[in-house]
Chain A
Amino acid sequence: MLEDVKPDLEHNVCGTYCPIPISELSNQIKSMSLGQVIELIADDPGVVEDVPAWCKATGQEFLGIYEEDGEFHAFIKKVKD
C-alpha cells in the first residue's frame, strides 16, 4: 500500500499552485541520492496529472498518489541523476 511507503524526504508545498509544486519537487530531488523516495504533499489538485507527467519527462519513478483531507500525497523515487 502507498500509505505504507516510508519516504526519505517529505516536502509540503500546500498553498502553492502550478507549476510551483513541480519546481519545488525538481529542486528537492536534485539533492537526493539514487533510490531515495520523496513524498510531496500539495493541495493543488493539478499535481495528480503534473507529477506523473514530470516523472515521465525526467525519467524518475512515479510510485503513486493518494488524497487525504484535501491534500495530495505523491511518492517519487529518484532513479536518475
Chain B
Amino acid sequence: MSHKPKALVLFSGGLDSQLAAVNISKVQNIEVKLIHFYTGFCITEHKRRLGIPNKDGKIPQNPALKAAAALELPIEIIDISQEYINVILNPKFGYGKNINPCLDCRIFMLLKLKEIMKKEGYDFIVTGEVLGQRPMSQTKDKLTIVEKETGLKGLIVRPLSAKLLPETIPEEKDLIKRELMWDISGRSRTKQINLAKTYNIDYEQPSGGCCYLTDEHFAIKFKEELSFKKSLNWDDLSLMTVGRHLRLPNGTKMIISRNEGETRFLNGFKNRFDWAYVENKAIAILKELNEEDIDYIAKIMARYCGNNTTKVTLSINKNMIKELAEPLEDDIINNLKIGDMDHVRRR
C-alpha cells in the first residue's frame, strides 16, 4: 500500500468507542477520523435543549465532542436525523425491547461510513462493538448479518473483541496487529473499566447508551400514536420526547409542558400546530385536533396551571379563542393520559 493507512471510527463518545479509537490511533498508530451521527434521539442532547443541567449544575456537553477533545482526535458530527426516521418506522430486522431498531440502526450508520470511506479514501471502519454485549446487535450472528447487509465483510474492525472474531482485511494486510487488540466479550464492563484506567480515559455515558428509542415511555407514546396514524413524521417523534401526553375523547392529542424548558421547546411548534396557552404557566401543542375537544383542552390547562379557574388562550386554525375554564377532575384526566400500557391496549 503506497499511502498511509487511515480508518473511520463510529464514535458515540462512550467508553467502548473511546477504547476502540484509542487502540487504533494510539496503540496501532493509524490515522483516524471519528464520526458521530446525530439521530435526534440522544437523551443528553435533548436534556441540553431543554436547559436541564447535570447533577453538578453544568450544561450537559455532547459526549462525543467532549471525548474527542480529550483524546485530541478529529471528529465529524453528521446530521442523519431526517433519513433516520425511515429506519425507525420500517426496520427490516425489527425492534428490540422497545422501539430500538438496533440492527437496522447499525447497518444504516455503517452504510453511511462506507460512503465516506470510499469518498475520502479511508481503508477500514472501526467500531466499539463487544461480542455478546447486546443481544439485539452484537451477537456473532448479528455481526455477520451486519457485514453481509453492508457489503463490508472484513472491513469492520472491532478492537475490543478482535481476538474472538475472524481475521479482518486490515489484519491480513498487516496494517494493524491482532495481538495488540483485545478479547472482551459479554455484558461485564470490568475489562473496559481497567483499560480506561490504563489509557486515562474519562467516560460519563451509562453503558446502556443514551438513546430515547430504548426508553419504555417513549415506546408507549410511539405505539399509541401509530394506532391513530399510518405514519409518523419528525415533529411527531420530536414531540414524544417532552411533556405530558393525553389523548382526548374525540381524538385530539395534547402535549402539555411541565417546566420552563419544555415550554420553550414547545413554543417552537406554535407556528405549525394548534395550541393552548396559560400565561407564565404552560403551553400545550394540539395535534389531530377535533374541535369537540376544546372544552376539555381548556379544563385540562386549568388543572395543570394552578388547579383553579383559569384564563386559557387557544389558537385554533390561527383563530384566537379565550376561555375561562374550571379544572378537569383528576379521575377523568388519568384516563386520558398516554403512558400506561392499559391505555394503549384499549385502542
| Residue from A15, A23, A45 whose CB has the most chain B CB atoms within 10 Å | A23
Bound Cα distance A1, B217 (Å): 49
Which residues of chain B are within 8 angstroms of A45 by Cβ–Cβ distance?
59
A19 & B72 in contact (Cβ 8 Å cutoff): no
B66 & A53 in contact (Cβ 8 Å cutoff): yes
B247 adjacent to chain A (CB < 8 Å): no
B59 & A22 in contact (Cβ 8 Å cutoff): no
> Which segment, of B76-84, B134-142, B176-184, B199-207, faces chain A?
B76-84
B115 to chain A, nearest CB (A): 16
B144 adjacent to chain A (CB < 8 Å): no
B322 adjacent to chain A (CB < 8 Å): no
In the complex, chain B residues 142-174 whose Cβ is within 8 Å of any chain A Cβ: none
B36 & A19 in contact (Cβ 8 Å cutoff): yes
B307 adjacent to chain A (CB < 8 Å): no
Bound Cα distance A59, B291 (Å): 56
B interface secondary structure, majority: mixed
A46 & B62 in contact (Cβ 8 Å cutoff): yes
In the complex, chain B residues 40-81 whose Cβ is within 8 Å of any chain A Cβ: 45, 48-49, 59-62, 64-66, 68-69, 71-79
A19 & B45 in contact (Cβ 8 Å cutoff): yes
Which residues of chain A are within 8 angstroms of B62 by Cβ–Cβ distance?
18-19, 22, 46, 50
Bound Cα distance A20, B71 (Å): 21
**B contact residues, total (Cβ < 8 Å):** 25
B73 & A57 in contact (Cβ 8 Å cutoff): yes
In the complex, chain A residues 1-47 whose Cβ is within 8 Å of any chain B Cβ: 15, 17-20, 22-23, 26, 44-46
Which residues of chain A are within 8 angstroms of B68 by Cβ–Cβ distance?
53-54, 57
Bound Cα distance A38, B77 (Å): 18
- Residue interface bits B29-46, CB-to-A below 8 A is 1, else 0: 000001010100000010
Bound Cα distance A20, B39 (Å): 11
Bound Cα distance A32, B5 (Å): 26
B51 to chain A, nearest CB (A): 8
Which residues of chain A are within 8 angstroms of B64 by Cβ–Cβ distance?
19
What's the interface size class on A, roughly? Answer: 20 to 34
Bound Cα distance A56, B36 (Å): 16
Bound Cα distance A50, B13 (Å): 14
A58 & B75 in contact (Cβ 8 Å cutoff): yes
B45 & A56 in contact (Cβ 8 Å cutoff): no
Given contacts A17-B45, A18-B45, A46-B62, contact A53 B76 (CB under 8 A): no
Which residues of chain B are within 8 angstroms of A44 by Cβ–Cβ distance?
48-49
Residue of A nearest to B40 (CB): A20
A49 & B61 in contact (Cβ 8 Å cutoff): yes
CB-contact partner of B38 in A15, A23, A49, A53, under 8 A: A23
B45 to chain A, nearest CB (A): 5
B72 & A56 in contact (Cβ 8 Å cutoff): yes
CB-contact partner of A56 in B60, B69, B77, under 8 A: B69
B48 & A18 in contact (Cβ 8 Å cutoff): yes
Which residues of chain A are within 8 angstroms of B65 by Cβ–Cβ distance?
19, 22, 50, 53-54, 57
User: 22 A-B contacts, Cβ less than 8 Å apart?
Assistant: A15-B268, A17-B45, A17-B49, A18-B45, A18-B49, A19-B38, A20-B79, A22-B62, A22-B77, A23-B38, A23-B79, A45-B59, A49-B59, A49-B66, A52-B69, A53-B68, A54-B65, A54-B69, A56-B69, A57-B68, A57-B71, A57-B75
The 10 closest A-B pairs by CB, nearest first: A53-B69, A57-B68, A56-B69, A17-B49, A23-B77, A19-B77, A57-B69, A58-B74, A19-B62, A57-B75
Contacts A17-B45, A20-B38, A50-B62 aside, 11 further interface pairs with beta carbons under 8 A come to: A18-B45, A18-B48, A26-B76, A46-B48, A46-B60, A49-B66, A50-B61, A50-B65, A53-B65, A57-B65, A58-B75
Binding site for B on A (CB under 8 A): 15, 17-20, 22-23, 26, 44-46, 49-50, 52-54, 56-59
Binding site for A on B (CB under 8 A): 34, 36, 38, 45, 48-49, 59-62, 64-66, 68-69, 71-79, 268
